[in-house]
Amino acid sequence: MKKRCVGMLLAGGEGKRLGLLTKNLAKPAVPFGGKYRIIDFTLSNCSNSGIHTVGVLTQYSPLVLNKHIGIGKPWDLDRQEDGATILSPYTAKKGGSWYQGTADAIYQNIHYIDQYDPEYVLVISGDHIYQMNYEELIQHHEEKQSDATISVIEVPWEEASRFGILNTHDNLEIYEFDEKPAKPKNNLASMGIYLFNWKTLREYLVADAESDTSDHDFGKDVIPAMLNDEKRMFAYRFEGYWKDVGTIQSYWEANMDLLEEDLSVSLNNKEWRTYSQDTNYPPQFLDENAVVENSLINSGSWISGTVKNSILFECIDVGAQSLVSESILHPNVKIGKGCTVKRAIVMENVDIPDNTVIDGTTEEEPVVINRDYVEQLT
C-alpha cells in the first residue's frame, strides 16, 4: 500500500563515548529523563508527526532496544500493514555483516521502502533529544520543491567547527556541505535529519552502493554527490531544543536540562507527548522523612531520604538518612541507608549498600556506577 512518507530511523549506534552506559546497550536504548530511552524522543516525533511507517535499523547490542520497541504499541506504531519494523542486518546463507555506513543501511533496506512506494523518505537517528514536527519539514520541502531537505540548527560560531555546516543562499538553498570546517562560513549545523524524494534518493543509493571508494555515508558521500549534480537542496531551520547526548558529560547535562523551567523539550506538553513503555508501577511513595527538591521522580519509587537536583527512574528506593544530589538513578536502583550519592549516574539494578559515599563532584565527568563498582566497594 502506498504511503506518503517512510521514516528510516538509524538506531545502530555504539555510542562509544558513553563508556559504561553503552557497554551492553545501543546508544538509542540508554535510559533518559527519568522514564524514557533516548530513542523515545525520535519515535514520539514520528508518531506525533503522523509518520506511521518507520523502519528502525538496529545492529549494535539490539536486544534491549528490540524488546523496548516491541510491536511499537506505546507510539501507536503497532500496525499490521506498516507501523514500526525492526530492520537488522540480514544474514544470508553465506553470512552477514553490519551496515557499512548510514547510506548503506538504507540501501540494504530498499525492498522495505519500495513496498510502500513512498513520495518521501525521512532519514533520522535515534540518539538525539528534541521534539520536532516532521510534517512541517515536509511542508517546507514541498514548498521549495526540493529534492532533499536537511534540518539545521544554529550553533554558537565558536562551536561551528565541531559540526557539519551547511552553506546556503538567502533562500536557504544549500550550495555546500562543510564537514567540521576549520573556518566555518556559517553556523547552521546539520542535525542529521534528511528528507529525500525517494525516487531521487534511490538512484543515488544504488550508485553509491556500486562505488568502491565511497564510505556509504550520507554526510560524506550522498549529500556531496547530490550537491555536485546540482539537485535542489534546502535547509530547514529548527528553532527548538536539540541535544546530541554523545558523552557522559553531555548526557548528564541533557538530563539536568529537564530540571530547568523554560526548556522547550517540555515533557509536560500535552500537545506533544513523549511516549515510552509504561509498566504500571504504583504511585511513588514519600514517607515522613522524605525531602525532595528540584527533582524528577518516576513511579514505583519509595523515598525515605533526601533527593536534590536529581533524576530518578522507576522503582528507586532511597533509604533513610541518605542524600542523593545532582545524580541520575536508572531503574531499580536501591540506595541503602545513610548513603551519600553526588553527581553520579547509577546504572540499572544496582544496589548501593548502607553508608556508601559516592562523590563525583571532584571528577571531570559525573561518575558512572555499575555493579562491578559496588562489588569493589565491599
Contacts to another protein by CB under 8 A: 1, 33-35, 47, 50, 73-74, 76, 79-81, 135, 267-268, 271, 273-276, 278-299, 307, 311-313
End-to-end CA distance of the chain: 59
- To another protein, the closest distance from the beta carbon of 245 in angstroms equals 18
Name residues contacting its own copies, limited to 61-90 (CB under 8 A): 62-63, 67, 70-74, 78-81, 83, 88-90
Q: Give the burial string for 187-209 (b: 16+ CB within 10 Å, else e).
A: bbbbbbbbbbbbebbbebbeebb
Q: Does 327 count as an annotated binding residue? A: no
Told to check if 15 binds its own copies by CB under 8 A, we report no
- Gyration radius (Cα) of the chain, Å: 22
Residue 204 touches which of another protein, its own copies, none (Cβ within 5-8 Å per kind): none
Q: Is 99 annotated as a binding residue?
A: yes
- Going from the C-alpha of 67 to that of each of 35, 60, 64, 91, the distances in angstroms are 16, 14, 5, 20
Which is closer to another protein, CB of 119 or CB of 365? 119
Min. distance of Cβ 271 from another protein in angstroms? 7
Which single residue is written with the C-alpha cell 553503552? 22
167 or 299: whose CB is closer to another protein?
Answer: 299
- For residue 65, the minimal CB distance to its own copies (Å) is 13
Residue 175 interacts with which of its own copies, another protein, none, CB < 5 to 8 Å by class: none
CB 73 to its own copies: min, Å: 4
Smaller CB separation from its own copies, 4 or 67:
67
Nearest residue to 217 via CA among 114, 131, 125: 125
Using the 8-state DSSP alphabet, how is residue 173 labeled? B
C-alpha cell at 211: 562505488
Residue with cell 538509542: 28
The Cα–Cα gap between 275 and 291 comes to: 29
Residue 263 binding result from another protein, its own copies, none, given CB thresholds of 5 to 8 Å by partner type = none
125 is in an annotated binding site: no
CB of 285 to another protein, least distance (A): 6
Amino acid at the residue 302: W
Query: Least distance from C-beta 353 to its own copies, angstroms?
Result: 27
Residue 213 binds what, of its own copies, another protein, none (CB under 5 to 8 Å, by partner type)? none
How far apart are the C-alpha atoms of 300 and 63, rounded to whole Å? 25
Binds 35: which of another protein, its own copies, none (CB < 5-8 Å by kind): another protein
> 96 contacts which partner out of its own copies, another protein, none, CB within 5 to 8 A by kind?
its own copies
Residues 6 or more apart whose Cβ sits within 8 Å of residue 144 = 171, 172, 173, 232, 234
The three cell numbers of residue 273 are 507527548
Cβ neighbours for 305, distance < 8 A, ≥ 6 positions apart: 289, 290, 291, 318, 319, 320, 321, 322, 323, 324, 335, 337, 339
Reduced to 3 states (helix: H, G, I; strand: E, B; else coil), residue 68 is helix
Whether residue 164 is annotated as binding a ligand: the answer is yes
Rounded to whole angstroms, the Cα distance separating 8 from 1 reads 17
| Site size toward its own copies, by CB under 8 A | 27
Which amino acid is present at 276?
Answer: S
Residue 180 annotated as binding site: yes
The DSSP secondary-structure symbol of 119 reads S
Contacts of its own copies in 261-280 (CB under 8 A): 277
Q: Say which residue the cell 538506531 belongs to.
A: 11
Residue holding cell 539536568? 256
Site string for its own copies, 208-247 (x = CB under 8 A): ----------------------------------------
| Residue numbering of the annotated binding site for alpha-D-glucose 1-phosphate | 99, 164, 179-180, 190
| Residue numbering of the annotated binding site | 99, 164, 179-180, 190
Per CB under 8 A, residues contacting its own copies are: 59-60, 62-63, 67, 70-74, 78-81, 83, 88-91, 93, 95-98, 111, 115, 277
